[in-house]
Amino acid sequence: MTEPKSFHMTPEEFRRHGHAVVDWIADYHSQVESFPVLSRVQPGEIRSKLPAQAPERGESFEQILGDMERLILPGITHWQSPNFYAYFPSNASGPAILGDLLSAGLGVQGMLWSTSPACTEVETHVLDWLVAMLGLPEKFLSTGNGGGVIQDTASSGSLCALLAARERATEFASNRKGCDGRLAAYCSTQTHSSVEKAMKIAGLGADNLRAIEVDESFAMRPEALARQIDVDVKAGLIPCFVCATVGTTSSGAIDPVREIGGICGNLWLHVDAAMSGTAALCPEFRFVHDGVELADSYCFNPHKWMFTNFDCSVFYVADRKSLIQTLSVLPEYLRNQATESGAVIDYRDWHIPLGRRFRSLKLWFVIRHYGIEGLQHHVREHVRLAQEFVAWVSGDARFELAAPARLNLVCFRLRAGDQATQALMERLNASGDLYLTHTKLEGKFTLRLCVGQTNTQARHVERAWQRIQEETGRLGSS
Amino acid sequence: MTEPKSFHMTPEEFRRHGHAVVDWIADYHSQVESFPVLSRVQPGEIRSKLPAQAPERGESFEQILGDMERLILPGITHWQSPNFYAYFPSNASGPAILGDLLSAGLGVQGMLWSTSPACTEVETHVLDWLVAMLGLPEKFLSTGNGGGVIQDTASSGSLCALLAARERATEFASNRKGCDGRLAAYCSTQTHSSVEKAMKIAGLGADNLRAIEVDESFAMRPEALARQIDVDVKAGLIPCFVCATVGTTSSGAIDPVREIGGICGNLWLHVDAAMSGTAALCPEFRFVHDGVELADSYCFNPHKWMFTNFDCSVFYVADRKSLIQTLSVLPEYLRNQATESGAVIDYRDWHIPLGRRFRSLKLWFVIRHYGIEGLQHHVREHVRLAQEFVAWVSGDARFELAAPARLNLVCFRLRAGDQATQALMERLNASGDLYLTHTKLEGKFTLRLCVGQTNTQARHVERAWQRIQEETGRLGSS
């Protein structure tokens, strides 16, 4: 029998090219420390090197892979460099990358239990593991009324929480009839912008989001929250949702979840612990979860600080029925016996998209490769390095700390003011030796140094501080 | 200098384990044809084999990889089997898997241009390539006022289109003040359930979605659409959005986009071509895009039928400003020079999540590996095989076609009725020889056979038809 004409890569070709790609990545990770962290290309520079039209005929894989070095690398800002301290980390690791590769190789859809039972059951199981690993309340376990699901990002988690809150408050009438502009929601002035975005998406309106004032540590003031809820109720609004943050993006502030939960009553309390939740792997940092048993939903991102490559945001609810009832639509073509038996989870009803990858494989691989012990070790080390950095900043009279640094995010600035601080950042980033980003705290330009990249070690943080001191010295003389 | 204690996988370990994983996938793809397509496990069976607690100490990679075979494979429904005809395909290919692997290895975030310029520019560029490749209108090009973005799924694309429609209709007041229950939207009775889900999410309410009746080919009746819009306007509603489908999920029906566009006026017209858009790679199938120049937005999924593994859904808008204004929120910590220059695209404003992977790498790899010629060849072959299957069904008096099969989806049933048709499906799926799913058309239980899996060849479709005939024969005698 002659094989039909084919342009597909055969399994044997895949094996050969796959080894080359694995080698490319191993080499990249061996060298990444030596690259300028922030890409130096100008807008349009990468595009200008690409052909105007797609190729009519296929190209060799060697040629395609060769272009990674030639065309792509100059346009990369190296998030996997140990000298990356910007934003929040988006860290990765060998076991995560290989778990993700297996997920791509299997190429299954997990929208329904029946479309690949292992995809659903490993996810449910590993997220139950994490409840114990992080000291989260048992009500988030799938074995009770709750459960976890992997979403793409904490933004999507916040949106799902807000939607479930909206429906619970309106007895599912918003889903049917649409919103009426009377629901109000609450966060702090420091809450991530995704909550404002979610208010817009969910049809509640950004004007109905109250940004509650914060205290000197940039944490939400519970008494101000209580006051605002009262004002809104008296004005005829229906408060339905509060987002508390454990580790704000700007400064790592930790909202007082217990006090906020005491105020919430029947309002839906969502806790966003996108980066800082990972700290709870270590018992000594478990204070970050104080009061979380009062939350209706909770989110943290293993793709930030738990060595699991993007995307992997874990979202828990205490009452999965309210979430499922909010997001479920069941057309005939998705009906199946397993779903109708009620004995299975169909994760399509737990988030916005229908299709979904086998994302729990990489998380399962990470937890098994490191073990709890290994994860704790590296999280502890990152916090220790950040705290050393805090001590150095505190000991240099040219600098001031801009916020308490309780974990791995340090906010600091030059006493010389905004212009000097911004100039320092730009010089450091232009040097390529490290990359950090800024925020504003109390109106002042503030640098953020977040220690969380997988391979960041003492020598990198020491070198970062050395470079910061050097450039600060040059600023003075320029 | 002694290296600090580490639990990380070193680049050399990654190289070794990575080769093993690549080999595992190559072997899997070589054997996948021999596996029962639909997993045979019972609910809870996979979980029951997993340890109750996460491991305290790390395990060897050999042990972890070994469990793929032992624990995971039995729970896999094999979407990459050439005998998979269920739902829509979620096909993959070697170049896509390797492009995705490089994306995981680089581990960059593409939320802003500046966080990795190549991630944004390759995406913009390749999506411009696709405009020409699919014969889409030039208004979707990024070089004009439009542009494309990769989203996770067509569900998310529909939601973004609906949100932009909502804001355009209310002059961005819904974003600020929330919805008021007066906006109406339109689809057909055959439109994918994600549009109803989007109505709920966006705060418009499922009751304000009108499911317009269809003709005998299951395509939307434009005159019925016009009538309903009139009725709604007279009732004081504000029509804002129409979703036309090119290739419905149930039957592959193609809504008359040109006529619908003529009716839309200032309503936002979104075209969902999730699977069938790929057919337009071949000039002879470009009829699927007739009238798309009248659309405000358009979506198709390379992760369905264009050999690019999930997730890769391409979403175009004619006026990117309206989309960006709908979804943009700019906190201080994301401000940067490139964004403020206005010279770059920041894709975070084009979809729901903030973070995003370098998903265009796999799409770029696929287009370059196959070339336009190779992609056309395989799409043509899938359509040819489906049309052969149509001829076989038509020639067997026990069967009837349930809908016109214009491309690669065939809907058919036994003349003996629903029970027999359902029993046939269950026997086929239980046999493991192939996997197909059902829908209801005109109230009747109908089988769907979709030819689109990467490796499906003539011999697989011939065998499928043989098995269908065999099981039908046994049905009669049982």
What is the structure's pLDDT at B4? 85
**Out of B58, B196, B375, whose CB is closest to A368?**
B58
- DSSP states of B196-210: HHHHHHTTS-GGGEE
The CA distance from A429 to the nearest CA of chain B, in Å, is 12
CA distance A115 to A334: 10
Please state, in angstroms and as integers, the Cα–Cα distance from residue B245 to each residue in B152, B169, B257, B383, following that order.
18, 22, 8, 19
Residues of chain B with pLDDT under 70: 1-2, 477-478
User: At residue A427, what are phi and psi to the nearest 5 degrees?
Assistant: -65, -45
Asked if residues A287 and A358 have their Cβ atoms less than 8 Å apart, the reply is no
Cβ-based neighbours of B132, under 8 Å, separated by 6 or more: A53, A54
ipTM, 2 dp: 0.97
What is the structure's pLDDT at B341? 86
User: Would you call A95 helix, strand, or coil by DSSP?
Assistant: helix
CB contact under 8 A, A14 and B8: no
Q: Which residue has the tokens 């800002």?
A: A77
Residues 180 to 209 of B: which have CB under 8 A from any A CB? Answer: 180-181, 183, 192-194, 196-197, 200-208
Pick the CATH number of B108-357 from 3.40.309.10, 3.30.1360.20, 3.40.640.10, 3.40.50.300: 3.40.640.10
What is the structure's pLDDT at B342? 85
CB contact under 8 A, A55 and B357: no
Touching check for B417 and chain A: CB below 8 Å?
no
Touching check for B76 and chain A: CB below 8 Å?
yes
**Out of A22, A95, A206, whose CB is closest to B19?**
A22
CA distance A256 to A179: 30
Peptide bond before residue A311 is cis, with ω within 30 degrees of 0: yes
User: At residue B321, what are phi and psi to the nearest 5 degrees?
Assistant: -60, -40
- DSSP states of B171-236: TTHHHHH---S-EEEEEETTS-HHHHHHHHHTTS-GGGEEEE-B-TTS-B-HHHHHHHHHHHHHTT
C-alpha atoms less than 13 angstroms from C-alpha of A196 in its C-beta half-sphere: 17
What is the structure's pLDDT at B173? 97
What is the structure's pLDDT at A477? 61
HEC sequence for A352-399? CCCCCCCCHHHHHHHHHHHHHHHHHHHHHHHHHHHHHHHHHHHCCCCE
Report the predicted TM-score, pTM, of the whole model to 2 decimal places.
Answer: 0.97
Residues of chain A with pLDDT under 70: 1-2, 477-478
Residues 96 to 115 of B: which have CB under 8 A from any A CB? Answer: 96-98, 100-102, 104-109, 113-115
CB contact under 8 A, B98 and A28: no
CA distance B186 to B193: 13
What is the structure's pLDDT at B1? 55
Chain A CA closest to residue B11: A26
Q: Which residue has the tokens 């994760």?
A: A347
DSSP annotation of A330 = -
Tell me the CA end-to-end span of chain B in Å, nearest whole number: 77
CA distance B260 to A206: 33
* Residue A48 structure tokens: 């200008």
Strand segments, DSSP code E, in B354-465 are 399-401, 409-414, 437-441, 444-450
